[in-house]
Structure 1
């Protein structure tokens, strides 16, 4: 049984004909437990919309989403129970963090809301362990967003998402606002902490260099549709769709065939 399935998912924004935007146009997708998936494409391709729908943040205009073979609940207790197993790491960490609240308080909200610790001492230990897991010291918990770098803020967001040990974890452009060195560090962190045999991990990005080595499989989106999918190494070395070839050439500053030759030689 697939962990996540999308069948005929269509998402339309706007009411009038002039304002109508088809963000997703009949997307079918299956993701297995333990699989790491890269969802790539240019801005406006529909990849972030797909992530929000697969994690239950948005409801599709048409189509169905199944998690472990069952329709995703939309309200009530069943939705709350399922929601804790579906987490989305947002694109802009700074926008997801309240400037008035310390990092410890951000994590404590999750711990308390889901009754993850029996008392204050256990909560303090859990928060410290969560920060340490993403490479931060306990002292970072006492700081507010403005006192942290962009990379440190992103680490806190990852720690918060991992607190619930989600079955399905999506990261939406988690490195878009970071410099090259910090971007590499965050990708390495995602690789170590977010991937696993019992979890679906998917990353939404326009940068194919990020998914190379991080994801087992890629899907390429354009104008709300999946135009190509396949194992990462195969898709990067031998893309079949013209748009995928353009993305590979732009990301690696070389043609797919030349990239394949480098991989074989290495």
Structure 2
């Protein structure tokens, strides 16, 4: 017990040490490269504090677009992945196609989205959804396909309808993998959105980032990167907490069944 407690303690200490190490490494790089190619952590955080009010509109626009794109990717990815995974025929038929589409460098297809939607929010949402929907669909499909047979036997013994079986057995069984897929899908939705804003947009964090790149203002660029990293880390942390909670539920349920 003491060994486990000690291990958990050092695990938490390591988590807190990583940001400190990154800041030290950042400062070292600044000392080597120097201005105007690089800004120090102090300069970047100072620029972040000074410009934050001016960036609020872009932050809000990016977050709103990201929320819409992630909801669309999640709903369609989960539904399609779940029903494909229930059918061995469709799983074997569509799995290679989905994996092939997932492997395509999606940034090369952005001109198509630009031609269809133009410089609109709908275009950024579509490109973001295109980035995030495939991992959600693939992970949900594989999780549904590999549900333990004992769960299905349990549903059959209780003579459950499909809705009851899905709500009480199938969906809870795939929740840990599903949350992992949603976490990955969120990260890729965010990536696709930032790329879309950088290439063709008049608003959002990506557009603001390109603007400061053209002005060669490293402190502002790094300040924006800090905001982007914070958004990514914050939501990833929430997904990790959700995933750990569902894994504990699954473990307790397995103990009861066995």
Q: Answer whether TM exceeds 0.5 for this pair.
A: no
TM-score computed with the length of structure 2 as normaliser:
0.26
Structure whose alpha-carbon radius of gyration is higher: 2
Which is richer in helix?
Answer: 2
TM-score computed with the length of structure 1 as normaliser:
0.25
Which is richer in strand?
Answer: 1
